[in-house]
Amino acid sequence: MEIEKGIERLNDQQVEEFVQKNIILTSLDAVFNWARGRSLWPLSSGLACCAIEMMATGASRFDMARFGYEVFRPSPRQADVVIVAGTLTWKMAPAMKRVYEQMAEPKWVIAMGACACTGGPFNESYAVVPGVDKILPVDVYIPGCPPRPEALLDGMLKLKEKIQDPSKARVKHG
Amino acid sequence: MVKFLLDEFEPAQLSNLLGQEVAIAGEGVSRALIVTPEQLIATMEALVTKLGFDYLGDLTSVDRGAEGLEVVYHLYSLTNQREIRVKAKVDAETATVPTVTTIWPGADWFEREVYDLMGISFAGHPNMTRLLLPEDFEGHPLRKSYKLQKRV
């Protein structure tokens, strides 16, 4: 009731200010992207030693929960982002691709570590995929062998930036 | 302390015991019993029944280039606390030795791994397929003759 009384006393200009301060006009996409970027659910999948750093990132010392990314899902159907943490072999590649395809849209991929980015020290190997971008569309590459938890957090925040403002990641031509 | 069986027997004595004309090659702890693929099963069975080698510790292979291929068996006797190494020599073209899964069932995946990476077939194996590499992989990458494929 007090608010109503207050509004009664405002003049037109004050009402205009009130509206501008308290009501946001935007597109639904922008709102969704704002929310998506702040609550990514990663898939709990690990391939090699990078997965240990990923677990450390989720644990108390580095605490991914500070950013809202702690909800590791064991099912691809509930996950938004797959962190490819480690060496992907050609034998494992079909399984990884299937897991990615089982995820619901919208979905993102983070290549964590040298192996996931380029094959790393196994780049020339007959058994290793030289970069997961050979089979999956990667959004963020995190270098390191393995990357420290801070690097993974930074990668997640970079992904948040990309989700919230897709134009930032757009390749500029000309 | 596990003792090395070849310390306790002269080569002639061992050949007599196993009923096979076997050779011994190598120095010190890397000494091994050398057999042909034809001798392999009879030798292994004699090692099990007469000397109690009841445990197959490892089964690997080596590509010696011009000297052909070797399948290496690391045997242990849990009852007698003895160990011995047996090598079966085979040329790269034939590349077939009889399976020992009939003696030690645990040889199954060892032999599949050797087949996968070195291309040695084990005659009589219940499931002679690739173990580690994708099914559609071409070639056997641990062979000296294997060439890395150019990436697309």
Q: Residue B62: pLDDT band by 50, 70, 90 thresholds?
A: very high
What is the residue range of A117's domain? 37-165
Q: Which domains, and CATH codes, for chain B? A: 3-123 (3.30.460.80)
Cα torsion B106, B107, B110, B111: sign: negative
Q: How many domains does chain A have?
A: 1
Is A104 inside a domain boundary? Answer: yes
Average pLDDT value for residue range B94-113:
93
Instruction: Give the model's pLDDT for residue A8.
Output: 66
Q: Does B4 touch chain A (CB under 8 A)?
A: no
Residue B126: which residues within 8 A CB-CB, separation 6 or more? B101, B108
The predicted pLDDT at position B15 comes to 85
Q: Which chain B residues have a beta carbon less than 8 Å from that of A119?
A: none
Q: Is A8 contained in some domain? A: no
Asked if residue A117 belongs to a known ligand binding site, the reply is no
User: What is residue A2's predicted lDDT score, i.e. its pLDDT?
Assistant: 61
Chain A residues lying within 8 Å of B148, measured CB to CB? 124, 126
Interface contact B132-A130, CB threshold 8 A: no
CATH number of the domain within which A137 lies: 3.40.50.12280
Percent of chain A clearing pLDDT 70 (strictly above)? 93
Specify if A173 maps to a domain.
no
Q: If you measure CA to CA, which chain B residue comes closest to A95?
A: B134
Check CB contact of B152 with chain A, cutoff 8 Å.
no
Q: Tell me what pLDDT residue B101 has.
A: 93
User: Residue B88, SS3?
Assistant: strand
Closest-CA residue of chain A to B142 = A126
Q: State the pLDDT confidence band at A173, using cuts at 50, 70 and 90.
A: low
Which residues of chain B are within 8 Å of residue A126 when distances are taken between CB atoms? 133, 137, 141, 146, 148-149
In a domain, A11, yes or no: no
Query: Is residue B55 scored above 90 in pLDDT?
Result: yes
Name the β-bridge partners of A52.
none
Q: CA of B115: how far to CAs of A51, B112, B130, B136, B140, in Å?
A: 31, 5, 7, 14, 8
pTM of the predicted protein model: 0.79
Region A36-40: mean pLDDT is 91
